Amino acid sequence: MPELPEVERTRRKLEGVALQQTVASITTIEDTIVYQGVTHTAFADAMRGAAFAACHRYGKWMYSEMRLASPSATHRTYFFLHLGMTGSLRIKGLDNTEYRSAKIKYDPESEVWPPKYARFDLTLDDGTQMAFCDPRRLGRVMLVTVASEEDLFQVAPLAGLGFDPALRMPPADEFATAVRARKTAIKALLLDQAFAAGVGNWIADEVCYQARVHPARRTNTLSDAELAALHAALDMVIREACLLNGEYDSYPAGWLFHVRWGKAAHKKILSPDGDPVEFVTVGGRTSAFVPKLQKLRPATPDQDAAAADDENAMAIDEDNVLKTPGRRRRQQHAAQEAESELSSLEDSDEEETPSTRRRRQRQQRIDQLRRDGAKRKDPAERSESPSASPPRKRSRT
């Protein structure tokens, strides 16, 4: 999945070709999943004749202020784009390989335009052709209209996001206070977009590795030195990756990034220093770590109890419809399953084939039937119950 450095690289590419350019023509594909809050036809109508006035990024979202063909005197319109898991913004004639786990290879020498999986493709007034491709349809396209740019952070999708480490890394003491205010696994906290917008799976693993902190360590067990190390590591990883324009082949040789992708191959993996790398699931995500350097310090019973209370409170805050512990557990279980499915797809270096897709979908149906069956009473109990009605016979005509 593209994370902050990869999205920043895409933003720079967009800015380089589109800034102050006008959309001369645009073709969109109907997709009620990718297009959010706007139909594909309304999006095309708004973008046609509009100019890119500015290109920004916050977290994993890119957004561009558009000067519409018929502008409003009181409001501004912004084009928002989220790359999802395998989305990419492609410029005709350029090498558009964006990130490490890209599944769709792009060859500018033998390109077909519009590219496969294009949700929209447009032509700028200087002839530049651009398309957004999204094989798994987990990306998002939105139009947001507000009175000022400051108002963007009061509405979706930016409302509720935490600090962006590349735009405003908080001071070390402020960071430590925010971490200590939560009682969960440190990697789960780093992945929380309400805490740090733009941090994804590989960045969180790299930060924990560089800070020599186990990804499952509870935030309320971290020492002052460990919090300082995490702050410095997060700042360094984001700054270095953005400085290198998200080109992963150029990342420092001492980064865990270069070896963390080998789990799917079932082979022994060694860190840059030659130490064994192991994998564990934290926060529903596959996590790489080096046991020799990243020790898991056990929490005390009081700390475990506090962490459980904090996670229950987090679940209630995220969805105030949840009222009972049973419903809360089901919600958490479903969320963990969804996260695990996404992480397994992301961490695999192999492209999903039709046969593996069918097996995955079949297994999902089986799992759902099992969950549904667990909610029903045992058949023996139903037969013994005085209120149970006899089975109905199927009528024949």
The predicted pLDDT at position 36 comes to: 97
Round to whole Å and give the CA distance between 71 and 96: 32
Provide the token pair at 326. 């049973």
C-alpha distances out from residue 52 to 17, 180, 209, 280, 285, Å: 10, 42, 40, 44, 37
Provide the pLDDT for residue 201. 97
Comparing 381 with 92, the larger pLDDT belongs to 92
Mean pLDDT of the chain: 82
pLDDT band at 162 (very low <50, low <70, confident <90, very high): very high
**Phi-psi sector, 93: left (phi>0), alpha (psi -120 to 50), beta:** left
Its pTM surpasses 0.85: no
Mean pLDDT calculated for residue range 63-80: 96
The amino acid sitting at 206 is: E
245-276 burial: b if 16+ Cβ within 10 Å, else e: ebebeebeeebbbbebbbbeeeeebebbeeee
Q: What is the 3-state secondary structure (H, E, C) of 17-76?
A: HHECCEEEEEEECCCCCCECCCCHHHHHHHHCCCEEEEEEEECCEEEEEEECCCCCCCCE
The CA-to-CA distance between both ends of the chain, in Å, stands at: 55
> Over pLDDT 70: what percentage of the chain?
70
**Percent of the chain whose predicted confidence (pLDDT) is above 90:** 66
Structure tokens at 56: 């920004």
Banded pLDDT at 112 (limits 50, 70, 90): confident
What pLDDT shows up at residue 292? 97
- Give the residue with greater pLDDT, 305 vs 381: 305
Lowest-confidence region among 15-24, 98-107, 124-133, 296-305 = 98-107
Q: Is 95 left (phi over 0), alpha (psi -120 to 50) or beta?
A: beta
Give residue 302's pLDDT.
56
Cβ contact 179:197 at 8 Å: no
Confidence at 323, pLDDT banded by 50, 70, 90? very low
The more confident residue out of 322 and 142 is: 142
Average pLDDT over residues 133-139: 95
Position 130 scores a pLDDT of: 96
Is the pLDDT at 320 greater than 80, yes or no?
A: no
DSSP for 237-290, please give it.
HHHHHHHTTT-GGGS-TT-GGGTTT-GGGT---B-TTS-B-EEEEETTEEEEE-
